[in-house]
């Protein structure tokens, strides 16, 4: 909705999730958008939020840690066994329970709080949050219409302990637990399943789809919602590993290919690749490929390994100059480039193109987004790092928007944050309010009508 001057008005969109009949099984709301009973009568999403009170022992590292290649090579075949094992770790006990992770009897998984809030917030069927738009021909040459992406992420018990520490006081979250000298603990694993709302007949690899129902927007630029089928298209992984000198993290991506088994199933997720650094020495642009008819692998990258098996991996655009990114991700970014901007307050935009006058491609200003940042180091001075977690950064931003702008205005006109001197991050002198950016993957995410 816009006012007479064309300015976007979000008050109603932001308030709607909190006014809806929200299920609250624990401290944090489960979701923000409950589907109407006339459209959906099945079970509702419940946030897994019984975060561990004590840190899991160092001996509790996932078994796949033993499979890390001794030398990190850009030859993907040296990573294949590792990637397959991480995939199994994410899926075991979750697929058979339709990602109702509280029912997993093999290992415990948890969700990030405060993803329910705002126009992109969690819907009530599977806990999906809205992500980026799918551009025409981004997925395949035959894909002429646009679409949209929804996703749900989960953290293992090692990562969930840190989440619980950040949110131990639900009214005063503390991101010091993810910022230097702290970070997510060694062995943290994040798995995120991404689903596409797109004309599947135009995307060959979405044959034999895994379908979920979601209470999603009718189109990307709308705030109106309906219950629709969405198709599994991608799964992302992130692993905190202190053996990785460049960043302390490993990121990987899988892409759905329904031709692999010839039937619907999570086994159709095939590896796109893996990365453990941003290759800051590579400033070229010869391998960027936003509308793919083939996968263009950059052999000069030393910290990304891409699956070269064309019989398995459908043509995909990857990230900037061949760095790792998934099919529904930004083709001029990378997994690590985007995630390393996670901080609070959010001063950084997530990609150099998210501004009116982007720097020249490959310039020193551009390469700021393709450096190697150690775990726990903030992207912007004067902030706290969310340690490569955009979900944590987004949750903190959502919470303080609600607390400071929507839920705490006093008679004298001051809001709750201005009244609370203990909220040091909101009041740091070196951070001006106009510097704080909305946490988003694509500027168009806020253009809801």
Question: How do residues 118-175 score in pLDDT, each as one tens digit?
Answer: 999 999 999 999 999 999 999 999 999 999 999 999 999 999 999 999 999 998 999 9
Cα 120 from Cα 234, distance rounded (Å): 19
pLDDT of residue 271: 98
Q: Which helix H or strand E contains 194, and what residues bound it?
A: strand 189-197
Q: Which residues of the chain have pLDDT under 70?
A: 1-26, 406-449
Tokens of residue 140, six digits: 């395949």
Residue 64 near residue 89, CB atoms below 8 Å: yes
DSSP conformation class of 286: T
Cα angle 280, 286, 292 (rounded to 5 degrees) comes to 110
Q: Count of CB atoms within 10 A of residue 213's CB? A: 17
103: CB partners within 8 A, 6+ apart: 93, 97
Query: Nearest-CA neighbor of 87 among 210, 256, 243?
Result: 256
**Residue 95 has which token pair?**
């697929």
Beta bridge partners of residue 344, listed in sequence order:
384
Polymer length of the chain: 449
pLDDT for the residue 15: 32
CA distance 43 to 18: 20
Query: Quick one: pLDDT at residue 402?
Result: 87
Task: Provide DSSP, 348-378.
Answer: S-SSTTSSSSPPPTTSHHHHGGGS---TT--
**Whole-angstrom distance between the N-terminal and C-terminal Cα of the chain?**
5
Residue 442: per-residue pLDDT: 54
């Amino acid at each position: 909705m816009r006012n007479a001057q064309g300015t976007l008005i979000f008050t109603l969109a932001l308030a709607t999730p909190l006014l809806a009949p929200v299920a609250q099984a624990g401290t944090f709301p489960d979701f923000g958008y409950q589907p109407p009973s006339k459209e959906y009568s099945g079970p509702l999403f419940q946030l897994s939020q019984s975060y561990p009170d004590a840190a899991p022992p160092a001996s509790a590292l996932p078994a796949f840690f033993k499979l890390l290649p001794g030398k990190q090579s850009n030859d993907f075949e040296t990573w294949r066994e590792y990637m397959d094992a991480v995939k199994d770790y994410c899926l075991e006990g979750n697929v058979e329970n339709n990602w109702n992770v509280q029912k997993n009897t093999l290992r415990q998984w948890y969700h990030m709080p405060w993803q329910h809030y705002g126009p992109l917030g969690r819907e009530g069927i599977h806990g999906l949050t809205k992500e980026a738009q799918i551009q025409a021909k981004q997925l395949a040459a035959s894909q002429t219409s646009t679409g949209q992406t929804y996703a749900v992420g989960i953290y293992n018990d090692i990562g969930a302990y840190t989440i619980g520490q950040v949110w131990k006081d639900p009214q005063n979250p503390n991101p010091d637990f993810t910022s230097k000298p702290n970070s997510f603990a060694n062995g943290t694993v994040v798995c995120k399943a991404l689903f596409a709302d797109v004309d599947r007949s135009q995307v060959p690899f979405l044959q034999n789809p895994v379908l979920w129902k979601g209470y999603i927007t009718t189109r990307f630029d709308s705030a109106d919602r309906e219950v629709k089928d969405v198709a599994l298209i991608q799964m992302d992984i992130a692993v905190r590993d202190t053996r990785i000198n460049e960043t302390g993290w490993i990121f990987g991506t899988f892409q759905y290919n329904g031709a692999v088994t010839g039937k619907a199933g999570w086994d159709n997720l095939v590896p796109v690749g893996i990365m453990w650094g941003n290759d800051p020495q590579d400033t070229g642009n010869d391998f960027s490929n936003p509308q793919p008819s083939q996968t263009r692998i950059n052999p000069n990258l030393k910290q990304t390994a891409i699956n070269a098996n064309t019989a398995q991996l459908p043509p995909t655009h990857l990230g900037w100059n061949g760095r790792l990114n998934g099919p529904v991700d930004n083709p001029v970014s990378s997994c690590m480039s985007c995630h390393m901007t996670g901080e609070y307050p959010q001063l950084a935009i997530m990609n150099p193109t998210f501004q009116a006058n982007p720097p020249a491609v490959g310039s020193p200003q551009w390469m700021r987004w393709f450096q190697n940042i150690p775990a726990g180091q903030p992207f912007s001075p004067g902030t706290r790092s969310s340690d490569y977690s955009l979900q944590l950064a987004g949750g903190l931003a959502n919470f303080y928007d609600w607390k400071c702008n929507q839920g705490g205005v006093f008679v004298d006109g001051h809001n709750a944050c201005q009244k609370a001197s203990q909220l040091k991050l909101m009041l740091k002198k070196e951070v001006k309010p106009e510097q704080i950016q909305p946490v988003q993957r694509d500027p168009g995410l806020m253009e809801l009508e």
